[in-house]
């Protein structure tokens, strides 16, 4: 799952003939003046300026400004660029034509196991949730493309009439093409607007998710996906992601502010169960972490050090199932080095460490971990005979 | 009985090194249960025609790598399942080809990061043909006592700990690979082990689903209960609940669902497998899955840790009701033991292997190379130089400061001698012919011998002999040389003479005798010899080979190492010449006709062959 920003989404819409308003993405407000000289629409249309970043609730934060002329747009861009929102900084803004329009529609497509589903409504805009019962659905089986007649039928069912129904169907057919050919997972256009005087349509706002695993067959994907965790990545998360991109196997980290139980867990499945166990026992996690696929020990060491630096943690859960092929001795070696390094830097004071693991070379790995007791670590080590998530119970009851 | 894989399963592995590693693990299982090799062929075009060595216990098998599935099948028609390990960009095509093979009913994809669209298409394709496409991102399939597909089950020791050498009564279906192994362990620890275990993979759109496998387990009389491990996202668990609740099922169902923590996490914060994503309006949430399963009559503990108790409870109930008859535990000692490698046995001191070679100078088995015991980095840190490394590796001694200075000068002075001499010229000709650095330098190196640069060893050797056998008798030494060796190595020069001395020799002799306190019996002896020989002929001077040889003997280097100094020093020059020619983009050269005397026969007619 990879959400992409509006700019790249608009570019893909353009590629597949889905009407979009004129727009530019800029990093420097001065560039807007130059673009204004070159583009008539910037001088003559009402403009909207939006922070082009993965920041939720942009409207409330003043990162969306509507109905501006070029000078006002310049001022808005200047004000937004460089603004710090939490841990992230606004680096880009998108300046788009604010099309005067008569009606707002809703058009979306999302994949499912058997194909995809097209959703249409002639009551789009901010109120779509309230008008959800007006949405008409068209199931599109895998490898099939509905005829324009079939889509038009759906448009008519959704309350569109006459030429507008035909035009909406046409746009929907292109949306299906775009979805299919760009390995999209979902595309939601809300609103799709129309100016009836010249029958001009435009996708004013859109959210698009693409399948990042398919990037090998999309040479023109020059964008990066944005954070999937509802906020921009922290520096630590970014560092772990950078390591993850370079190694065999994987290391992952999501920080959860406010928690006091840190997770240093193995495996995509088991890690989630450890988070669940903490929550089920009334604890709060300080992070989610995962290493899997027999990653190199230095990567696990880096992950360990990052986790040891999390603020206010009281426990670290070094949990995992019985590995199939991740070498317990080697990965534990990375964790042990990370613990030692962190301790020498003054971290891990009053932190209890709980270990449960099995898999290749489990005896050596667990024995090495246990030896940390001699170095003054408050560490509790269990082998496969301890039920997997029960170390969480032990930690919370200690 | 079992599902999906059994004693008759024969596999082809499509992919490179990951597939090979899996095949090795699979062969360990084959050995454990005493079945023929499961993997019959590899398909991996870059390594077409190679043989891969696979040990089944102590028995070495060679498994062929084919360039195409078609060829693999032509020679191995017994193959009835395929495992896909090849990279995500080729996985779709490979799986589709495998599904097209009539005899292949099951295709399992281990590859991770496969585009969703491809996985969806493969699922549909398999369904249309009545076949099973398992994966992507599956760790594999295990049938206890019969067949292992993939690395599921981990290391050999774990196969025994999880009782995988004989069937039990529990089926296992999981999304996660790691948890499939955990679940097999739980079934062995708290019950009598598994019949079969399947990992369907944690992607958004797996090729199969829980219901498909639950139905298979329901139809397998040996399976009495099934452990399902699911997670947030999708609706496969809800479908499983619906299936289980629809009618009375023979099998007991135990489940654990991951992702309940997501209820309390900040909005939008999601993690775990690619498929572990909740839909809009709570669709596919862990909580809804748990509720659905419980309502359908499945046993769903609060946490994963609670699975142990749940399995034990079901096992005891099934025993009490007579569905499961307790079988006597197998004596683990009767199970085969994986033959250890020579290294492992040696570690335990149970075998003696005569070493093939012996070294006395260096060792890189630790964190870094050690030269005669000294860590390379420590030598660097403590201010030692390349001369000291030479001293260590060639003579196993750390030279003194003064000795190092001499060694350094010998190398500096001998590093190059212009392009005209045999060695440099050889390298230059090779460089001009477009030959790469190591080979071009070797071409120059080939020239080092009795007439060029190779006299250092013999000079050192014979002057040392003279010092020992004819200490105060130069004429006696020269006489002995004349009778037994010939011209004295290290004496004589083509162009230099007493009147036109070799500057390098003068400098070295002057440096060693005047600027160091080095004791130089051999060099002194050679200079005495020179006095006698130059009296006979002006150019019979002590040349640079002779000088170096004597000094190095005086520094206590072994005689046979002495040519090494010239070889080492001149390598610097030859590399320089090669780089120089390449920088200039030098072109292929050949001798001009006028540089050759064609002392050949006149042109003539070839006679008829008789």
Question: Which pTM does this prediction carry?
Answer: 0.80
CA distance B268 to chain A (A): 5
Across B474-493, average pLDDT: 94
**Using 50, 70 and 90 to split pLDDT, how confident is the model at B454?**
confident
Candidates B122, B128, B182, B269: best to mutate against A (most CBs of A within 10 A) is: B182
Instruction: State residue B92's pLDDT score.
Output: 97
Is B25's pLDDT higher than 80? yes
Find where tokens 């829980």 sit.
B210
Across B28-41, average pLDDT: 97
Instruction: State residue A234's pLDDT score.
Output: 85
Alpha-carbon gap, residue B209 to A392, rounded angstroms: 31
Find the range with the poorest average confidence among A226-240, A289-303, B218-232, B590-604.
A226-240
CB A338 within 8 A of CB A373: no
Find the residue in A nearest to B204 (Cα). Answer: A113
Instruction: State residue A112's pLDDT score.
Output: 93
Average pLDDT for chain A = 93
Residue A361: list chain B partners with CB under 8 A: 155
Find the residue in A nearest to B88 (Cα). Answer: A213
Q: Is A390 on the interface with B (CB under 8 A)?
A: yes
Instruction: State residue A314's pLDDT score.
Output: 97
Q: Which of A324, A385, A389 sits opposite B303 (nearest CB)?
A: A389
- HEC per residue, chain A: CEEECHHHHHHHHHHCCCCCCCEEEECCHHHHHHHHHHCHHHHHCCEEEEECCCCCCCCCCCCEEEEECHHHHHHHHHHHCCCEECCEECCCEEEEECCCCCEEEEEEEEEECCEEEEEEECCCCCCCCCCHHHCEEEEEECCCCCCHHHHHHHHHHCCCCHHHHHHHHHHHHHHHHHHHHCCEEEEEEEEEEEECCCCEEEECCEEEEECHHHHHHCCCCCCCCECCCCCCCCHHHHHHHHHHHHCCCEEEEEECCCCCEEECCECHHHHHHHHHHHHHCCCCECEEEEEECCCCHHHHHHHHHHHHCCCCCCEEEEEEEECCCCCHHHHHHHHHHHHHHHHHCCCCCCCEEEEEEECCCHHHHHHHHHHHHHHCCEEEEECCCCCCCHHHHHHHHC
Is B280's pLDDT higher than 60? no
Across B287-294, average pLDDT: 94
A108: Cβ–Cβ under 8 A, 6 or more apart, which residues? A118, A119, A186, A187, A188, A189, A190
Alpha-carbon gap, residue B303 to A279, rounded angstroms: 10
Q: Do A183 and B266 touch (CB under 8 A)?
A: no
CA distance A230 to chain B (A): 5
Q: What is the pLDDT of residues A171-184, one digit of tens each?
A: 999 999 999 999 99
Q: What is the pLDDT of residues B332-389, one digit of tens each?
A: 788 889 888 888 888 878 888 888 999 999 999 988 999 999 999 999 999 999 999 9
Alpha-carbon gap, residue A128 to B167, rounded angstroms: 56
Q: What is the pLDDT of residues A230-282, one digit of tens each?
A: 677 888 998 999 999 899 999 999 999 889 999 999 998 999 999 999 999 99
Instruction: State residue B276's pLDDT score.
Output: 67
Annotated catalytic residue B273: yes
Q: Which of A113, A321, A359 sits opposite B179 (nearest CB)?
A: A321
Share of chain B above pLDDT 70, in %: 97
CA B288 to chain CA mean position, Å: 47
Q: Is A183 on the interface with B (CB under 8 A)?
A: yes
Is B270's pLDDT higher than 70? no
Across A146-173, average pLDDT: 95
Across A111-126, average pLDDT: 93
Across B80-98, average pLDDT: 97
Alpha-carbon gap, residue A78 to A185, rounded angstroms: 34
Is B275's pLDDT higher than 90? no
Share of chain A above pLDDT 90, in %: 85
Across B445-471, average pLDDT: 91
Residue B119: list chain A partners with CB under 8 A: none
CB A96 within 8 A of CB A67: no
Q: Do B276 and A231 touch (CB under 8 A)?
A: no
Across B236-262, average pLDDT: 95
Instruction: State residue A230's pLDDT score.
Output: 66
Calculate the alpha carbon distances from A58 to A8, A29, A32, A204, A226 in Å: 18, 19, 21, 16, 15
Across A337-359, average pLDDT: 96
Instruction: State residue B269's pLDDT score.
Output: 66
Rg (chain B; Cα; Å): 39
Tokens linked to B535:
């009296």
CA distance A29 to chain B (A): 32
Which helix (H) or strand (E) covers residue B197, if one does?
strand B194-199
SS3 at position B12: strand
Is B132's pLDDT higher than 60? yes
Is B471's pLDDT higher than 80? yes
Average pLDDT for chain B = 93
Restricting to A residues 223-242, those with a Cβ less than 8 Å away from any Cβ of B are 228-231
Find the range with the poorest average confidence among A374-388, B253-267, B524-538.
B253-267
Is B430's pLDDT higher than 90? yes
Domain ranges of chain B: 11-334, 400-610
Alpha-carbon gap, residue A338 to A332, rounded angstroms: 9
Q: Do B259 and A228 touch (CB under 8 A)?
A: no
Is A115's pLDDT higher than 90? yes
Tokens linked to B264:
């309390």
Instruction: State residue B333's pLDDT score.
Output: 80
Q: What is the pLDDT of residues A19-60, one digit of tens each?
A: 999 999 999 999 998 999 999 999 999 999 999 987 777 888
Q: What is the pLDDT of residues A275-319, one digit of tens each?
A: 999 999 999 999 999 999 999 999 999 999 999 999 999 999 999
Q: Which of B565, B547, B553, B403 is nearest to B464 (CA)?
A: B553
Query: In chain A, what are the domains?
Result: 22-97 (3.30.1490.20), 103-214 (3.30.470.20), 235-397 (3.40.50.261)
Alpha-carbon gap, residue A70 to A92, rounded angstroms: 17
Q: Do A115 and B161 touch (CB under 8 A)?
A: no
If you count them, how many residues does chain A have?
Answer: 398
Is B278's pLDDT higher than 70? no
Instruction: State residue B450's pLDDT score.
Output: 79
Instruction: State residue B453's pLDDT score.
Output: 82
Instruction: State residue B330's pLDDT score.
Output: 74
Find where tokens 């503990």 sit.
B301
What is the homologous superfamily of the domain B11-334 according to CATH? Answer: Succinyl-CoA synthetase domains (3.40.50.261)
Q: Do B185 and A360 touch (CB under 8 A)?
A: no
**Using 50, 70 and 90 to split pLDDT, how confident is the model at B268?**
low
Instruction: State residue A127's pLDDT score.
Output: 83
If you count them, how many residues does chain B have?
Answer: 610
Instruction: State residue B277's pLDDT score.
Output: 65
Q: Which of B175, B286, B303 sits opposite A277 (nearest CB)?
A: B303
Residue A97 pairs with which residues in a beta bridge?
A47
């Amino acid at each position: 799952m990879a959400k992409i920003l509006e700019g790249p989404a608009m570019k893909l819409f353009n590629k597949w003939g889905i009407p979009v308003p004129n727009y530019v993405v800029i990093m420097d407000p001065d560039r807007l003046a130059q673009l204004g000289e070159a583009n008539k629409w910037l001088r003559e249309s009402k403009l909207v300026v939006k922070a082009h970043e993965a920041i939720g609730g942009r409207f409330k934060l003043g990162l969306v400004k509507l109905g501006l002329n070029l000078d006002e747009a310049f001022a808005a861009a200047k004000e937004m660029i460089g603004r710090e929102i939490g841990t992230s900084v606004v680096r880009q803004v998108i300046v788009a034509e604010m099309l005067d329009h008569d009606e707002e529609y809703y058009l979306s497509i999302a994949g499912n196991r058997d194909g995809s589903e097209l959703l249409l409504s002639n009551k789009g805009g901010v109120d779509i949730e309230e008008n959800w019962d007006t949405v008409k659905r068209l199931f599109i089986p895998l490898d099939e493309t509905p005829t324009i007649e079939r889509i038009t039928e759906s448009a008519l069912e959704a309350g569109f009439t006459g030429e507008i129904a035909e035009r909406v169907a046409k746009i929907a057919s292109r949306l299906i093409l775009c979805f299919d050919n760009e390995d999209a997972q979902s595309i939601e256009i809300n609103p799709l607007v129309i100016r009836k005087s010249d029958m001009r349509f435009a996708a004013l706002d859109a959210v698009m998710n693409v399948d990042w695993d398919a990037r090998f067959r999309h040479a023109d994907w020059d964008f990066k996906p944005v954070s999937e965790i509802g906020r921009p990545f922290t520096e630590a998360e970014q560092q772990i992601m950078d390591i993850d991109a370079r190694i065999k196997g994987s290391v992952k980290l999501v920080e959860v502010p406010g928690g006091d139980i840190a997770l240093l867990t193995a495996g995509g499945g088991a890690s989630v169960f450890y988070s669940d166990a903490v929550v089920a026992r009334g604890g709060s996690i300080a992070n989610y972490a995962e290493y899997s696929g027999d990653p190199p020990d230095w990567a696990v060491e880096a992950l360990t050090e990052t986790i040891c630096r999390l603020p206010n943690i009281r426990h670290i859960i070094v949990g995992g199932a019985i590995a199939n092929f991740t070498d317990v001795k080697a990965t534990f070696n990375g964790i042990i080095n990370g613990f030692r390094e962190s301790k020498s830097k003054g971290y891990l004071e009053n932190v209890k460490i709980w270990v449960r693991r099995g898999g290749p070379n489990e005896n050596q790995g667990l024995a090495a971990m246990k030896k940390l007791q001699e170095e003054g670590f408050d560490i509790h080590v269990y082998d496969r005979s301890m039920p997997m998530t029960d170390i969480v119970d032990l930690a919370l009851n200690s | 009985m079992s599902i999906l894989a059994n004693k008759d399963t024969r596999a082809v592995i499509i992919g490179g090194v990951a597939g090979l590693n899996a095949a090795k693990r699979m062969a360990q299982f084959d050995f454990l249960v005493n079945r023929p090799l499961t993997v019959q062929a590899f398909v991996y075009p870059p390594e077409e025609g190679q043989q891969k060595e696979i040990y089944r216990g102590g028995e070495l098998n060679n498994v062929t790598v084919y360039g195409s599935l078609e060829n693999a099948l032509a020679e191995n028609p017994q193959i009835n399942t395929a495992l896909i390990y090849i990279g995500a960009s080729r996985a779709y095509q490979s799986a589709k080809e495998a599904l097209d093979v009539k005899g292949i009913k099951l295709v399992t994809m281990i590859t991770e990061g496969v585009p969703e669209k491809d996985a969806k298409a493969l699922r549909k394709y398999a369904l249309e043909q009545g076949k099973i496409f398992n994966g992507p991102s599956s760790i594999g399939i295990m049938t206890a006592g019969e067949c292992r597909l993939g690395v599921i089950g981990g290391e050999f020791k774990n196969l025994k700990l999880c009782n995988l050498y004989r069937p039990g009564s529990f089926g296992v279906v999981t999304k996660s690979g790691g948890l499939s192994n955990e679940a097999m362990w739980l079934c062995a620890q708290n019950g009598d082990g598994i019949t079969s275990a399947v990992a369907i993979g944690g992607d958004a759109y797996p090729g199969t689903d829980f219901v498909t496998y639950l139905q298979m387990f329901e139809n397998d009389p040996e399976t009495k209960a099934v452990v399902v491990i699911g997670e947030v996202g999708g609706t496969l668990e809800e479908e499983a609940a619906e299936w289980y609740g629809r009618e009375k099922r023979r099998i007991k169902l135990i489940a654990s669902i991951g992702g309940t923590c997501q209820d309390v996490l900040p909005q939008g914060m999601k993690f775990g497998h690619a498929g572990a994503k909740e839909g809009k309006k709570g669709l596919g949430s862990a909580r809804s899955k748990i509720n659905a399963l419980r309502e359908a009559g499945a046993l769903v503990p609060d946490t994963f840790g609670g699975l142990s108790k749940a399995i034990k409870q079901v096992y005891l109930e099934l025993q009490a009701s007579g569905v499961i008859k307790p079988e006597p535990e197998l004596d683990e000692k009767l199970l085969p033991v994986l033959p250890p490698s020579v290294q492992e046995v040696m570690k335990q001191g149970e075998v003696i292997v005569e070493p093939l070679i012996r070294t006395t100078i260096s060792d890189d088995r630790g964190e870094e190379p050690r030269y005669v015991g000294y860590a390379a980095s420590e030598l660097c840190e403590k201010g030692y130089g390349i001369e000291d490394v030479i001293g260590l590796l060639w003579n196993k001694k750390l030279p003194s400061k003064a000795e190092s200075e001499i060694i350094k000068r010998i190398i500096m002075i001998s590093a190059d001698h212009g392009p005209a001499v045999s060695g440099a010229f050889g390298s230059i000709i090779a460089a001009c012919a477009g030959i790469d650095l190591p080979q071009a330098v070797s071409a120059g190196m080939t020239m080092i011998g009795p007439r060029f640069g190779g006299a250092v060893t013999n000079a050192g050797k014979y002057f040392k002999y003279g010092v020992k056998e004819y200490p105060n008798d130069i004429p006696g030494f020269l006489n002995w040389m004349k009778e037994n060796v010939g011209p004295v190595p290290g004496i004589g020069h083509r162009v230099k003479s007493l009147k036109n001395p070799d500057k390098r020799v003068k400098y070295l002799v002057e440096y060693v005798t005047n600027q160091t306190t080095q004791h130089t019996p051999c060099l002194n002896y050679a200079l005495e010899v020179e006095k006698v020989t130059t009296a006979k002929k002006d150019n019979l001077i002590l040349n640079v080979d002779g000088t170096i040889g004597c000094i190095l003997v005086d520094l206590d280097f072994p005689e046979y190492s002495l040519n090494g100094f010239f070889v080492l020093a001149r390598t610097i020059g030859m590399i320089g010449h090669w780089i120089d020619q390449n920088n200039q983009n030098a072109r292929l050269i050949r001798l001009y006709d006028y540089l050759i005397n064609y002392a050949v026969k006149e042109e003539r007619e070839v006679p008829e062959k008789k």
